[in-house]
Amino acid sequence: MTAEREGRDGMRIVYIHQYYCNPTMTGGIRSYEQARRLVARGHEVHVITTDITGGRRSLGWRRTDDDGIQVHWFSVPYSNHMSFAQRLRAFAEFMIVAAVKATVLKADLVFATSTPLTVAVPGVLAAKLRRVPFVFEVRDLWPEVPIEMGVLRNPVARWLAGALANLAYRSAEEVVALSPGMAAGVTARRPGTRTTVIPNAADLAMFEVAPEAVRGFRERHRWLGDRPLIVYTGALGRVNGVEYLVRAARRMAETDAEAQVLIVGHGKEWDETKRLAAEYGLLDRTVHMWEQVPKADLPVILGAATLSSSFVRPIRALWDNSANKFFDALAASRPIAVNYGGWQADLLTETGAGLVLDPYDADGAGVLLAAHLRDEVWLKQAREAAHRLAVERFSRDLLFAQFEAVLARSAAGRHRGLARAGQTIGEKQSGTA
């Protein structure tokens, strides 16, 4: 990719993402993968983000180089264990420091990705001051999701969140949405907004794991061996409701005592989920729980999985998610079980790449999971279907091409708009308008 960079006239892009991660960190790496590809295509990328690893507020910015990406870090404490009010404070704090940083960096285009929605403010300010295009990416619909979850109850807070969403959509040359439902939510709030759907992606090269590495993983963990394994990787927050998997595992164990479940992640409901597994007598027997691991460690875990999984609570707004774990499973050619409807469930039903479970019936889910974990014919077909989806529809390189096209289109659109404005001014001054 370095060779591609030579000889190109690239843009200087300011990329605002409050919770950016690289593969050595725990979390999604969409921004890292997009930014490093932009660099390889000849663009200069400056990421503005926050460092939450130290747990302390920063005294200033620090700068690192991530494969050519210039990353500007400012420490703002954040944790899934925080209350909603504490999270709002973290969002507001980053919004202020990011606005200062974004406005002093030279840019040809400003890109901001939510959540939180507050990242739109530094993006809009920097773009207006620099008179450059602004592109906004929607990863979750705010304020629609927190309102439907009952988290955002205050009428004033709802109005402010709605006004912030309107500002972001109105100011953007184009909006990138991570799912069709999110795109619909954007245009429902502000009709006419130019919106492109670019979901999360399957990192095929990252999830290519040698068979001996998978065998070694299974052999190192005596509780696993050659037993069937269901894996959940990701957040254990209020949105996810991972206790559903524990309840399903209890029923599954009655049918298949050897089937194993591995939960890898972190979040506010970690302790509650672990207590429930212990209460059922499943902890460290059927259900195993590991703390979060770096993204680079996930491929071998998914490589050892018989089935991956993704869960959310039964709230309609959450069906429009674009879960990283869903696309990681596809990249690893693993079937995935979900307990929600929407576009991802439709994909699984249409292609046979996984299972759609009843969100209100964890016992029934346990029976269904047990039946499929030993069905070698179904597993083979589901693995092949998952692989086809990863290659043909969701490969990182394929979706990056669409992403770069959005940025190029936005930059060209702004330049045409400025040229037309300049022409109109000139005509008026000459008296010909």
Q: Is the pLDDT of residue 427 over 60?
A: no
Distance CA 433, CA 423 (A): 10
- Residue 432 domain-assigned? no
For residues 401 and 360, state if they share a domain: no
pLDDT of residue 275: 98
Q: Work out the pLDDT band at 414, boundaries 50, 70, 90.
A: low
Q: How many C-beta atoms surround the C-beta of residue 354 within 10 A?
A: 28
| pLDDT computed for residue 88 by the predictor | 79
Contact predicate 326/28, CB 8 Å? no
296 and 171 in a single domain? The answer is no
- Side-chain-side CA neighbours of 278 within 13 Å: the count stands at 7
User: What's residue 19's pLDDT?
Assistant: 93
Q: Tell me, what CATH number does 159's domain have?
A: 3.40.50.2000
Residue 353 has pLDDT above 70, yes or no: yes
DSSP string, 304-315: T-SEEEE---S-
Q: What is the mean pLDDT of residues 75-82?
A: 76
Residue 53 above 80 pLDDT?
no
Q: Are residues 293 and 335 in the same domain?
A: yes
Residue 159 lies in a domain: yes
Q: State mean pLDDT over 59-71.
A: 94
Q: Is residue 431 part of a domain?
A: no
pLDDT in the model for residue 55: 60
How confident is the model at residue 346, as a pLDDT?
Answer: 98
Residues 10 and 38 in one domain: yes
Same domain, residue pair 328 and 227: yes
Strands 62-66, 69-75: parallel, antiparallel or unpaired by DSSP?
Answer: antiparallel
pLDDT above 70 for 114: yes
Q: Is residue 193 located within the same domain as residue 252?
A: no
**Residue 177, helix vs strand vs coil:** strand
Give the pLDDT of residue 428: 43
pLDDT, mean over the chain = 91
DSSP per-residue string spanning 83-150? -HHHHHHHHHHHHHHHHHHHHHS--SEEEEEPSSGGGHHHHHHHHHHHT--EEEEESS-TTHHHHHHT
Which has the closest alpha carbon to 259: 219, 310, 306, 214?
Answer: 306
For residue 292, is it within any domain?
A: yes
Query: What is the mean predicted confidence (pLDDT) over 348-374?
Result: 98
- Evaluate if residue 165 carries a pLDDT over 70: yes
Say if residue 39 is in the same domain as residue 84: yes
Residue 426 confidence (pLDDT) above 60: no
Q: What is the tally of structural domains in the chain?
A: 2
pLDDT for the residue numbered 424: 43
Residues with Cβ within 8 Å of residue 37, at least 6 apart in sequence: 1, 397, 400, 404
Question: Taking 60 as the threshold, does the pLDDT of residue 283 lie above it?
Answer: yes
Q: In the prediction, which pLDDT does 54 show? A: 60
- Given a cut of 60, whether residue 5 has pLDDT beyond it is no
Model pLDDT for residues 219-274, shown as the tens digit of each residue: 999 999 999 999 999 999 989 999 999 999 999 999 999 999 999 999 889 999 99
Q: Where residue 430 falls among pLDDT bands split at 50, 70, 90?
A: very low
425: pLDDT strictly greater than 70: no
Residues 173 and 258 in one domain: no
pLDDT band at 151 (very low <50, low <70, confident <90, very high): confident
For residue 66, pLDDT beyond 70: yes
- For residue 396, give both structure tokens: 């990182």
Residue 69 structural domain: 2-201+395-425
C-alpha 31/C-alpha 17 separation (Å) is 8
Cα–Cα distance measured from residue 121 to residue 135, given in angstroms and rounded to the nearest whole number:
12
At 432 the pLDDT is 38
| Residue 283, domain member (yes or no) | yes
- State mean pLDDT over 10-22: 96
Task: Say which residues have a Cβ less than 8 Å from residue 355's Cβ, sequence separation at least 6.
Answer: 307, 335, 336, 337, 338, 348, 368, 369, 372
Check residue 80 and give its pLDDT.
67
Tell whether 269 and 405 lie within a shared domain: no
